[in-house]
Structure 1
Amino acid sequence: MILAALCVYILIQLAIAVWASRRMSTHTDYLVAGRKLGFWAVGISVFATWFGGETMMGSTATIADEGLAGARAEPVGYALCLIVAALLVAGRLRAAGYLTLADFFRDRFGGRAEIASAMVSIPTSIIWAAAQLLALASIIAVASDIPVGWALVGASLLVIAYTLLGGLLGDVVTDILQSLVVLAGLVILTITLFGRAGGVEEALALIDPAQLVLIAPGESWIERLDAFAIPILGSIVAQEMIARFLGAKSAKIAVRGGLMAGGLYLLVGCFPILFGLVGPGLGFDPAAGDLFLPNLALDLLPSALFVVFAGALFSAVLSTVDSALLAVSGLATQNLYSRVRTDASAAEKLLAARGFTVLAGLLAYLVATTGETIYGLVELASSLGSAGLLVSLLIGLHSRFGGEWSALCALASGLLAIWLGDFVFGIPGAFMASILAALAGYVLAGLALPAKLVKAG
């Protein structure tokens, strides 16, 4: 029954995607929904995009295993990210009429910076999509007893087909439906969790005080700072979020929608924390990893209610993974393909965008097979290459200091620092070090090659 219900749910999502596909004639329709999104559409869609597998499953599993110290990103870190992005980025980018973040780099820093920023952003979105595919595969495996490996194949094919058809418009429409299902599923599981414990007070009494410590044993201040900086700063430049801002009807709607999304995320993001803290006290094994939450729900809920919760999990993940694939498609089509095919027609660009969606899905599947956890992949996506993008965006958007070489040096310095700090030497605070390196690269290049390289606009 569970598997059949999920199949019906999937068919509904695909039907919406088919409906949306009939309302697209250009790649602008496909990538930013024709810039027709209102306040509620922007807010709920940004929330649904952020509230994905890493929140529902990854952070729950990490909290169950390590306590609050293992997942400080949720919900405060990513909620603050949405709020900061809304205040500092959303309005200005939407007012300029861009399709992607790399469009800003083109207009502010030049063509080489545009290509470099797209090449840095694309791997991040692929890794993020891979994390969501792992989450989808875990849900399918628990609901059907299909091995995770085959479930991953099925999840990848489903997501590719869904995103290929619906684009951002289909994504936004289903986001509204999916958010309602997510909220219903979380409330149902919370009530059942309290019922199993014997009441609210009894459930809270099951929490081990050691789980409530925010500081990991032996953690230095720089590691602590890094743990908060990655979610707050690392995702401000995410194309998945920026696409929603750019699809808004106006700059004002983009800002207000982003603020609403941040508040909603902060509220709803408390549910997974509760599951991760109380679940082990009820005897659920934290060693189950990413399957901790699906296993908890399967045990606590009768079949009919588990169908609702499985749909909620599925909704949260699906609304995120297709956004990541669209992010890759937008950057590849608008900022790479269109530079080679300068005379491409609207129909050709739409075809190219859909082709890049398929390619992104296949690459995300390959990354998902590497054996990383959901939460680990999300942390990697948030830190990889984002330092140079962040420094260049914030300085370039709010001042006229620095030109093309400033952006290029910031991107190169940030990448080099995160590679050396995280992957070669494993030093604490590698992400903050990459931001400082990117800032130094930007400033030094800006002083050596001043304002004449800054484009007007």
Structure 2
Amino acid sequence: MISFFIIIYLLITLGIGFWASKRIKTSNDFTLAGKNLSTSFVAITLFATWFGSSQIMGNPGYFIKDGFSSYVTLILSGSICLFIVGWFYARKLYRMNLVTINDFFRIRYNKKLELTSSILMILAYPHWIAAQFVALAYLFNAVIGIPIEYGIFLGALIVVFYTYIGGMWAVAYTDMVQSIMILLGLNIVLIEVLSKTGGILPIFENKPTEFFYLVPTGGIDEWSDYIALLLAFIIGAIPVQEIYQRVFSAKSERSARNGLFLGAILLVIITSIPLIIGLGGVYLYPELLKDGNNQDIIPSLVNTMTSIPIQILFYGALISAILSTSSGAMLAPATVIGENLIKPYANKISDKRLLLYTRLSVILVALASCYFAYDDTDIIRLVEASLSLILVCLFAPFTFGLFWKKANTHGAWAAIIIGGLTWLFCYIFNSRIDPTIYGTIMSCTSMLLGSMLSFKKAKLKNDALLNIK
């Protein structure tokens, strides 16, 4: 019965995507929804894109084990990132009339840096998307009994079709429907759990004092992981394309900024619900922790203690979360491929042909994502890996280039090369301190020194862009 309703829900979702696809006439419609998204649509698509498999299947396990220190790294970090982008980045970038942030690298630096940043951006996304494919595979395995390896392929096939036909318009409309499903499904499960635990207080009563600390209580290894996660989810997410794809799709600068702020609030409130559900679940059924797979706690809980109608709503919410994240994450690198790797180098390419190539890029991204999904099935680590490369290579030239007049091409190359090589070297030799920390420090330092040492010889390009207020 649950399988039947899941199939019906998937068909409805795909139907909405197909209906929305009728609004796509140009490549701009496909990538930026014709720059017509309101504040609410911007907020919902931002929330839906970042509320995915890790929030429902990954985060609860970490919260149960690590307590409120993981709440800071896994929940608050994403909202902090959106607030930072809203306050400091959105206004300047929206006024530049960009399609991707890699356009900024071309305008601020040169075409070679646009090309390099585009390749790095594309390489980072398959890990993120792979995390969603893994989550769909776990879902299909729990509900229908499909083996994980086949579930990954099936999930990829569904998401590819859904993204290919609809583009940003389909993402926006289906995200709105899916967000309603997420809220409805999670809140019903939350009420069911709290009614059996006797409220929220009992599930926290016997926790050790360390559970409530906002920072790690262990040694250097725990602090290293803590700082690395904060860097990845706050700073590393600042230059990612899926944020600015929604910012640039807004109908006005005000809609873009307010959408970021509202999305940040939604992210904090709604992502806290699965944590409470998971904690209440192991309070009622401690055996849920015994199999060692903390990513399966909430689905196992729902199967154990809820009725069929509630299970249908929950799995509808879970599917919604994964599909919305997958489609948004898949559209971002496909847009970069079309706008920054194909369009500048294809002589007099028509808009119709560009739209086709961007759609085909969705398939290419999906194939790469499947490879990583089969290679690593830890959802949180897949997401962290996707942000590390962007953090150690692109954050410094992106941020310094936007806010510092002396930033130049020499500094940008130094940040990308030295930051990336430092991260790779530390990763290969398994440094005790997380490689992301070393890479970020070296990238920012190289950006500063490289720009300062070459300042007298370098000519600042497009200086007027930096005077935008």
Scaled by the length of structure 2, the TM-score of the pair is 0.93
- Aligned counterpart, 2:426: 421
3-state DSSP of counterpart to 1:200? coil
3-state DSSP of counterpart to 2:95? helix
- Aligned counterpart, 1:299: 304
Which residue type is aligned with residue 103 of structure 1? D
Superposition map of 1:23-422 within 5 A? 23-70=23-70, 72-205=72-205, 207=207, 209-213=209-213, 214-215=215-216, 217-219=218-220, 221-282=223-284, 283-286=286-289, 287-422=292-427
Q: Distance in 1 between matches of 2:210 and 2:441?
A: 34
- Aligned counterpart, 1:7: 7
Deviations 1:241-276 (A, max 9, x none): 110001011222111110111111111121122133
3-state DSSP of counterpart to 2:86? helix
Q: Distance in 2 between matches of 1:315 and 1:51?
A: 10
In 1, are the aligned partners of 2:130 and 2:370 still within 8 Å (CA)? yes
Cα 1:357–1:96 shift into 2, 3 Å? same
- Aligned counterpart, 1:453: 459
The structural deviation recorded for 1:155 is 0.4
Q: Distance in 1 between matches of 2:155 and 2:302?
A: 20
In 2, are the aligned partners of 1:183 and 1:268 still within 8 Å (CA)? yes
Which residue type is aligned with residue 448 of structure 1? L
In 2, are the aligned partners of 1:98 and 1:246 still within 8 Å (CA)? yes
Q: Distance in 1 between matches of 2:39 and 2:225?
A: 37
Stretch deviating more after TM superposition (188-197 or 60-69) = 60-69
Q: Distance in 1 between matches of 2:55 and 2:431?
A: 26
The structural deviation recorded for 1:205 is 3.0
Q: Distance in 2 between matches of 1:338 and 1:390?
A: 24
Q: Distance in 1 between matches of 2:210 and 2:452?
A: 50
Which residue type is aligned with residue 58 of structure 2? G
In 1, are the aligned partners of 2:240 and 2:390 still within 8 Å (CA)? no
Q: Distance in 1 between matches of 2:287 and 2:64?
A: 9
Cα 1:423–1:276 shift into 2, 3 Å? farther
Deviations 1:381-433 (A, max 9, x none): 12123233111111111232222222222111221122122342323143232
Stretch deviating more after TM superposition (292-301 or 374-383) = 292-301
In 2, are the aligned partners of 1:25 and 1:346 still within 8 Å (CA)? no
Stretch deviating more after TM superposition (431-440 or 95-104) = 431-440
In 1, are the aligned partners of 2:229 and 2:384 still within 8 Å (CA)? no
In 2, are the aligned partners of 1:72 and 1:227 still within 8 Å (CA)? no
Which residue type is aligned with residue 386 of structure 2? A
3-state DSSP of counterpart to 2:293? helix
Cα 1:284–1:174 shift into 2, 3 Å? farther
Q: Distance in 2 between matches of 1:43 and 1:379?
A: 23
The structural deviation recorded for 1:210 is 5.0
- Number of aligned residue pairs: 457
In 1, are the aligned partners of 2:233 and 2:387 still within 8 Å (CA)? yes
The structural deviation recorded for 1:208 is 5.4
Cα 1:206–1:156 shift into 2, 3 Å? farther
Gaps of 5+ in 1: none
Stretch deviating more after TM superposition (128-137 or 66-75) = 66-75
Which residue type is aligned with residue 262 of structure 1? A
Q: Distance in 1 between matches of 2:295 and 2:225?
A: 24
The structural deviation recorded for 1:307 is 0.5
The structural deviation recorded for 1:339 is 2.3
Cα 1:13–1:423 shift into 2, 3 Å? farther
The structural deviation recorded for 1:161 is 0.4
Stretch deviating more after TM superposition (438-447 or 362-371) = 438-447
Deviations 1:1-48 (A, max 9, x none): 111111111111111111122111221111111111011110111111
Deviations 1:223-246 (A, max 9, x none): 543332221111111111110001
Stretch deviating more after TM superposition (143-152 or 169-178) = 143-152
User: Pairwise CA RMSD of aligned residues?
Assistant: 1.8
Cα 1:58–1:223 shift into 2, 3 Å? closer
Q: Distance in 1 between matches of 2:217 and 2:429?
A: 23
Cα 1:216–1:378 shift into 2, 3 Å? farther
Q: Distance in 2 between matches of 1:391 and 1:47?
A: 25
In 2, are the aligned partners of 1:117 and 1:389 still within 8 Å (CA)? yes
Stretch deviating more after TM superposition (66-75 or 310-319) = 66-75
Scaled by the length of structure 1, the TM-score of the pair is 0.95
Deviations 1:111-153 (A, max 9, x none): 0110111111112111100011111111121111111111111
Deviations 1:160-189 (A, max 9, x none): 000001111100111111111111111111
Q: Distance in 1 between matches of 2:150 and 2:208?
A: 37
The structural deviation recorded for 1:222 is 4.9
The structural deviation recorded for 1:358 is 0.6
Q: Distance in 2 between matches of 1:154 and 1:310?
A: 16
Stretch deviating more after TM superposition (220-229 or 84-93) = 220-229
In 1, are the aligned partners of 2:73 and 2:226 still within 8 Å (CA)? no
Cα 1:358–1:223 shift into 2, 3 Å? closer
The structural deviation recorded for 1:209 is 4.9
Q: Distance in 1 between matches of 2:102 and 2:300?
A: 41
Q: Distance in 1 between matches of 2:276 and 2:328?
A: 27
Could you tell me the percent identity over the aligned residues?
A: 27
Q: Distance in 2 between matches of 1:199 and 1:338?
A: 57
The structural deviation recorded for 1:316 is 0.9
The structural deviation recorded for 1:453 is 3.4
Q: Distance in 2 between matches of 1:418 and 1:64?
A: 30
